[in-house]
Structure 1
């Protein structure tokens, strides 16, 4: 009987998330609550669909971004990006040793924290020959922190009276996954969303050089490739920038992408389970939390002091 009720209820909630009445944060909470209380009746399908829908949503969001802004952000933040990514990975290595954590798990968590969460973890995993359970633990820990970031960051931003520009920068640099960065910034404002998306996806392009360096360090024959959704985002930004005559169409696509993101966040939330929490364990979660607190705290202080 419970299974019969669960399936239609899940579909109804998913349909609600496709409507404008449900926001990004609410969708994630709904999905997580449903999974924890009733269990996801479409777990495998939800996991597969969320990955593809997220990529489509990110590409669609590119239709609201000025390509010249992407280039400007990349140039202006070159030194900051290199220094911050390297520092985060270095700190992650120290914490991995301090907690006597599995090396591969520590590397994946550090890399995911430094660049862009799940995408960075997926790119690094084959390079360091990470095992399935190591990848699963890293993704589980990062996912849980993504949920916290999506819920906590807007409130913290309002508490410190951050402008939309400041919040967009902070969210992009301190929240792991692109999905949660977009979700948190979308609830803060349109300008915050634009800045956060641009900064985060510009940063995500650094997956390639850092995985290449890791390949040399770990003597791996695996080669990382740039995620296709990043290429799609850049192409969408190019189209938006150089074909302004069709701006109404680009706005329509962008609006659809925002709502698609809400649906995706519900599916991502529905992937949370007691099994994932147990598999992650205590040490990886504590290590990831300390790393995240230091990173987000330092970046917030730099923003408040006007250094970023």
Structure 2
């Protein structure tokens, strides 16, 4: 019996096998509470980054490693896959088309060019370091668009195994965390104004939380433009995933459907359509601030639990043996996107 079918097999006394999921989901909930507490105490540390770090620690400490690899594993895998998709849907509530259009057409073209060049360049670098095509695709998606959320979306549309997303998520989290410490140190040597620095961060840093943590070091002027530029990159998630889905549909062999007929993969998964719908809803301006705040909080909880689930699958010993080339490729890709983002920022904020 496959892992997915075992996951859905009803357990004793609990419909739908929820007894198999509850230990892992409860573990993720406790971890998220710890991540939010640490973020509250040390605001410069994004809660999403902390979720991945706590997951990695839980997987590699002797006291918790057996638990995350054993009884908690089904629920953690469920979080890493399905809660991630729910978080991506709610991510759309942060993106307003009006805010994006307010940047102007030149800025939009520059941001799209950074995403396209970053995607292609990162994929090429990954392949030059002999990373598998699947890993290269996920790394390129995460680095160029919006971190782990983009990796989850691409993995779904390309039908990539959950286990194959673990290394790309670890790499994008590592480099995003590196940006928080390194990029603010470059403001004075590069003589960057606050708007230019903010645009650079928005065009270069991977996760939304990491963008906020990095840009706020230069004040509100930097933070404001950083968030808008970053959310413009997030908006590009939908067309990129749609293109990947169309390619998958053209090249994939049809699989058997429920009725025995051939079934092709969808061009765009339902959760990506949900993301687009949330962008449209946010752009109408109908939702009050309270609803938007609640949506943002729920999105953080879902994505945080998903990232903890993914982090809990990372084994440091295996990563050290197999991830050396991947780490070098990620660092070179991070440098490439930082240079592309800086060039675009100088033009956007000129």
Query: Given the two structures, how large is their TM-score scaled by the length of structure 2?
Result: 0.63
1:82 deviates by: 3.4
* Corresponding residue number in structure 1 for 2:24: none
Is there any run of 5+ residues in structure 2 with no aligned partner, and where? 1-29, 253-264
1:125 deviates by: 1.2
**Distance in 2 separating the partners of 1:68 and 1:215:** 27
Q: Which one of the candidate residues 164, 181, 188 is aligned to 2:218?
A: 188
**Distance in 2 separating the partners of 1:33 and 1:92:** 27
* Corresponding residue number in structure 1 for 2:157: 127
Does residue 111 of structure 1 match 2:141? yes
Does residue 299 of structure 1 match 2:341? yes
Higher RCO structure (Cα 8 Å, ≥6 apart): 1
Structure 1 residues 66 and 141: alpha-carbon distance in aligned structure 2, compared to 1, 3 A threshold = closer
Structure 1 residues 137 and 185: alpha-carbon distance in aligned structure 2, compared to 1, 3 A threshold = same
**Distance in 2 separating the partners of 1:155 and 1:148:** 12
**Distance in 1 separating the partners of 2:32 and 2:237:** 35
Given that residues 154 and 187 in structure 1 are in contact (C-alpha distance below 8 angstroms), is that contact kept between their aligned partners in structure 2?
yes
Given that residues 89 and 110 in structure 1 are in contact (C-alpha distance below 8 angstroms), is that contact kept between their aligned partners in structure 2?
yes
Does residue 162 of structure 1 match 2:182? no
**Distance in 1 separating the partners of 2:132 and 2:138:** 10
* Corresponding residue number in structure 2 for 1:275: 315
1:158 deviates by: 4.7
Structure 1 residues 152 and 231: alpha-carbon distance in aligned structure 2, compared to 1, 3 A threshold = farther
**Distance in 2 separating the partners of 1:54 and 1:158:** 36
1:110 deviates by: 0.9
Is there any run of 5+ residues in structure 1 with no aligned partner, and where? 1-8
Matches within 5 A, 1:1-308: 16-17=37-38, 19=40, 21-25=41-45, 32=53, 36=57, 39=61, 48=79, 62=94, 68-73=98-103, 75-218=105-248, 219-220=251-252, 221-225=265-269, 226=272, 228=274, 231-232=277-278, 235-236=281-282, 238-239=284-285, 250=289, 275=315, 278-279=318-319, 281-304=323-346
Query: Given the two structures, how large is their TM-score scaled by the length of structure 1?
Result: 0.70
**Distance in 1 separating the partners of 2:275 and 2:317:** 28
**Distance in 2 separating the partners of 1:300 and 1:272:** 30
1:300 deviates by: 1.9
Q: Which moved more, 1:202-211 or 1:270-279?
A: 270-279
**Distance in 2 separating the partners of 1:96 and 1:27:** 28
Q: Which moved more, 1:285-294 or 1:83-92?
A: 83-92
Q: Secondary structure at the match of 2:192?
A: coil
* Corresponding residue number in structure 1 for 2:17: none
**Distance in 1 separating the partners of 2:90 and 2:241:** 25
How big is each residue's C-alpha offset from its partner over 1:1-29, in whole Å with a ceiling of 9 and x where there is no partner? Answer: xxxxxxxx97996574474x531338678
Q: Which moved more, 1:279-288 or 1:218-227?
A: 218-227
Structure 1 residues 187 and 96: alpha-carbon distance in aligned structure 2, compared to 1, 3 A threshold = same
* Corresponding residue number in structure 2 for 1:6: none
TM-align CA RMSD: 4.4
**Distance in 2 separating the partners of 1:267 and 1:207:** 18
Q: Secondary structure at the match of 2:130?
A: coil
